[in-house]
A and B are shown apart, each in its own frame.
Chain A
Amino acid sequence: MNDQFFLKMENIKKSYGHVEALKGVDLILKKGEVLGLVGDNAAGKSTLIKILSGAINMDYGRIFIDGKEENICNPADARNIGIETVYQQFALVDNLPVYCNVFLGRLISKKFLGGMFPILDKSKMEKEALRILSFMGIKFDSARARVSDLSGGQRQAVAIARAILFNPRILILDEPTSGLAVKELEKIQDIIINFKNKGISVIFISHRLESIFATSDRIIVLRSGVKVMDEENKKITSQYVVEKMFGLESKKV
C-alpha cells in the first residue's frame, strides 16, 4: 500500500454549463489522516466531494485509492470501495424509521419460504442501528422512531451512523457541524478524532474553522475552483486560512 497517497485525486475538472466549478484540483489523503476542506461559497468543495462520493461525474481527472485507479460513476460505486459520505442535508428519508435510514441502500433481508419471499430482518437492523448510535453516545429510545420526529443532533447521528456502519476506508463529512449546539459539536469532533485513531481517513468540510483546527491534520483551501492552500494544521493560523479563502493579502505565520 502506498502510505503517502491512500487517496489521490488528480487534475479534477468539472463545469456546469459555462461555469467552471473545478479547474484542475489535486487532492491527496493519507491513511488515518483528517483533512479539513474549506472555502467560501461556490469555491468547489461540495463539487469535489460529490465527485468522490459518486453523486456527480467529473469532466476530467483521475482518482486513485490505495494505488489503484478507480472509476466512480455513482454513489453505489463509491460505497462499494469504502467511501462513505455524510451530506450537508444528511440525505435522510423523514417518513422512514431510524433503522431504515441507517441501512438505506443496504437493507438486510432474511430467507422466508425457502428464499422465495425474502423478508426484511427488522430486529437485526434495529439492534445494529441502536448499537452504532449508542457507540456514538447519542441516546435513542427506539430505532423505530421516524426521522421526522428527531432533533437536529439525533438526525446528524443517524446520518453519521449510516456512514460508519460498514467500516468505511474514507469518510467524507460535508458540513456536519452546521446548526449544532456546542455540546453536539464537541461530540462530532470527538467522533472524528475517534475515526482517525482507528485508521479511517476523513475529509471534513466545515465553515467553522475552530472545528477544522480542532480535528484536522492538514487543511486545503479552495477558491473559485482552484486549490490555493494545502498546509499542515500546525503551521498555520485561522487568520491565514481566512485570507486564503477570500484572496486577501496573506502572510504566513
Chain B
Amino acid sequence: MTKINPKNILQRVPSAVLLFIAIGILFAMTSPKFLSLINLKNILLQSSPLAILSLGMSFVMLTNGIDLSVGSVVSFVSIMTGKLLGMGFNIILSIFIGILAGSVIGIFNGIIISKVKLPPFIVTLGTMGVSASLALVLCGGETLYWEKNWFNSIALKYFLSIPVTFWIVLLIFSFILWVVHKSSFGIYVYGIGSNEEALRLCGVKVNFYKAIVYLINGCFAGIAGIIITSRIASGNPIVGIGFEFEAIAAAAIGGISFFGGKGHPGFALLSAVTITMLMNGLGLLGFGMAWQYCAIGIILIIGMSINILLEKIALKQKDSK
C-alpha cells in the first residue's frame, strides 16, 4: 500500500485550506460570537453570492481568461429584477429574465473574446462599464422597492439548518464537479488554458467552448444577483461593486492559475467562504468595510505567495527525483 506523506498532501492543497483553518482559529479565539450557530449560518448565507461568482470565475481563469464585469452584472441584474418586480411582473419570470440578462452579457463577452480575439481584460472592462451604467440608468440612481412577496424571503429560508442560498451553491458546485471530472467540456476547459493551439489542431471547437465558459460565468453572475436582490429585498445599482475583486481573489487564493489550466474550483469555493469568514470576523470585532477590503487584499497576497512557494517546493522535489 502507498504510504501517505503529510508533506506531499500539504503541497497539493492550495493556500485556501491553510487560510481557512488559520482565519477560523483566529476569529474563534478573538470573537466569542464567531463560532455561534447563528453566525455560522450567517457566514454561509453571506458567502453564497461570492461562492457562486468564484465558481464561475474559476472556469474563466482556467481558460486563461478573466472577467471584470461580474460585479457590475450583479448590480444590473439586481436593478432589472427589482424593476420587473416593481412593475408587477410574475416572480418566476422576473428571476428568469434577471438570470438571462447576466447570461446575455456573458455570451457577449465570450463571443467578442473568442471571435474578435480581444483580450478578456479589455472586453470585460468594457462590459463592466456598460453594465454599471445601464444599472444606474434603469433606476435613475435610486434603490428600487416592490410590494413584499415570497421573493424577498428566498434568501432568508433554511433547509436542514442550512440557508437555501447555500443549497443553491451546493447544487451549482455539483454541476461544476460533473463538468470538471466527468465531462469532455471540463477536459477542454483545462486544455484551453494549458495549450489552446493543441486543442485547435486536434479539431476542438475552441471558440465555442470559450464562449460557453463566459456564458456560464454570466449566468452565475445573474444567479448571484438574484440571491443578493432577494437578501436585501430591493434593487440596488451599486450592490455588486467590488464583487469582481472578491471573486478573482477567491479563485486565485483557491489555486486557480492566472495562466490557465491549473487548479480546482472546489478550492475557489472554499476561498469564497474564507473571505466571507474574514469579513464577518472583522465585522464582529468592529472593523468596517474599508478595513475588510484591506484584509482581503492582504490575504490575496499572502495566499498567492503560499501557492507559489508550495509550487516551487513541489517542482524542486520533482527535479531531485
Contacts and interface: CB of A to CB of B under 8 A. Distances in A.
Interface of A: 53-55, 74-80, 85, 87, 91-96, 100, 104-107, 109, 112, 117-120, 149, 162
Contact of B191 (A79, A85, A93, A117): A93
A91 B201 contact: yes
Contacts of A94: 194-195
Nearest to B197: A91
Given A91-B198, A93-B198, A95-B194, A105 B178 contact: no
Nearest to B181: A120
B154 interface: no
B201 A96 contact: no
Interface in B149-179: 178
Interface in B182-204: 182-184, 187, 190-191, 193-195, 197-204
Given A92-B195, A96-B190, A118 B202 contact: no
B194 A75 contact: no
Contacts, number: 74
B183 A96 contact: no
Which of B193, B203, B318 has the most A CB atoms < 10 Å from its CB? B203
A112 B184 CA distance: 14
Nearest to B182: A119
A161 to B, nearest CB: 13
B262 interface: yes
A106 B188 CA distance: 11
Contacts of B182: 112, 117, 119-120
> DSSP majority for the A interface?
loop
Interface string B192-220: 01110111111111000000000000000
Nearest to A104: B202
A28 to B, nearest CB: 25
Contacts of B195: 91-94
Nearest to B263: A95
A119 B194 contact: no
Given A91-B195, A119-B182, A120-B182, A96 B200 contact: no
27 contacts: A53-B201, A54-B203, A55-B201, A74-B203, A77-B203, A78-B203, A79-B202, A79-B203, A80-B203, A85-B201, A93-B190, A93-B198, A93-B199, A94-B194, A94-B195, A95-B194, A100-B191, A104-B191, A104-B198, A104-B204, A105-B199, A105-B203, A109-B184, A117-B183, A118-B183, A119-B178, A120-B183
Contacts of B203: 54, 74-80, 105
A79 B205 CA distance: 13
B178 to A, nearest CB: 6
Nearest to B184: A107
A118 B204 CA distance: 18
B234 to A, nearest CB: 37
Contact of B183 (A87, A92, A119, A162): A119
Contacts of B202: 75, 79, 91, 104-106, 162
The list of the 6 closest CB pairs from A to B, nearest first, reads A76-B203, A105-B202, A91-B198, A107-B184, A119-B182, A95-B194
B14 interface: no
Contacts of A117: 178, 182-183
A80 B202 CA distance: 11
Contacts of B318: 149
Which of B182, B184, B197, B204 has the most A CB atoms < 10 Å from its CB? B184
Nearest to B201: A91
B261 interface: yes
B198 A75 contact: no
B183 A75 contact: no
A104 B183 contact: no
B190 A95 contact: yes
A119 B193 CA distance: 21
Nearest to B192: A93
A96 B184 contact: no
Contacts of B193: 95
Given A93-B195, A105-B202, A119-B183, 12 more contacts: A75-B202, A80-B203, A87-B201, A93-B194, A94-B195, A95-B190, A95-B194, A95-B262, A100-B191, A104-B191, A105-B204, A119-B182
Given A93-B194, A94-B195, A120 B184 contact: yes
A74 B195 CA distance: 17
A80 B203 CA distance: 9
A120 to B, nearest CB: 6
A80 B204 CA distance: 12
Nearest to B318: A149
Given A109-B184, A119-B183, A120-B182, A96 B194 contact: yes
A151 B210 CA distance: 31
A87 B203 CA distance: 14
B11 to A, nearest CB: 15
B201 A75 contact: yes
Nearest to B257: A95
Contacts of B204: 104-105
A96 to B, nearest CB: 6
Contacts of B191: 93, 95-96, 100, 104
A119 B182 CA distance: 5
Contacts of A74: 203
